[in-house]
């Protein structure tokens, strides 16, 4: 089971999106894969077609589609 979660832009730090497979304890906590988001913060995430992408909604109204390989290669 794969989960995504985000952090708010706070204390002069940018928003970050975290990705982890909860079946693998080594990926949880500080070991989760993260991608830093520049600009407007991410407020929602949903799976794209065939679970190969995720789509993020941002505070400024933009939608961004991410290829999961972006998260997997980090």
Residue 32 bridge partners (DSSP) = none
Asked if residue 41 lies in contact with residue 59, where contact means CB atoms within 8 angstroms, the answer is yes
The tens digit of pLDDT for each residue in 14-31 reads: 888 888 888 888 887 777
Q: Please give the radius of gyration of the chain, using alpha carbons only, rounded to the nearest integer.
A: 12
- Structure confidence at residue 72 as a pLDDT band (50, 70, 90): low
Statement: residue 73 has pLDDT above 60? no
- Structure confidence at residue 6 as a pLDDT band (50, 70, 90): confident
**CB-CB neighbours of 44 under 10 Å:** 11
> How large is the average pLDDT for residues 53-74?
82
Q: What predicted TM-score, i.e. pTM, was given to this entire model?
A: 0.71
The upper half-sphere exposure of residue 29, i.e. CA atoms within 13 Å in the direction of its Cβ, equals 3
């Amino acid at each position: 089971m794969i989960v995504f979660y985000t952090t708010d832009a706070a204390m002069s730090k940018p928003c970050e999106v975290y990705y982890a497979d909860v079946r693998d304890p080594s990926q949880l906590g500080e070991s989760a894969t993260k991608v830093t988001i520049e600009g407007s913060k991410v407020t929602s995430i949903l799976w794209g077609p065939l679970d190969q992408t995720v789509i993020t909604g941002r505070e400024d109204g933009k939608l961004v589609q991410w290829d999961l390989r972006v998260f997997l290669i980090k």
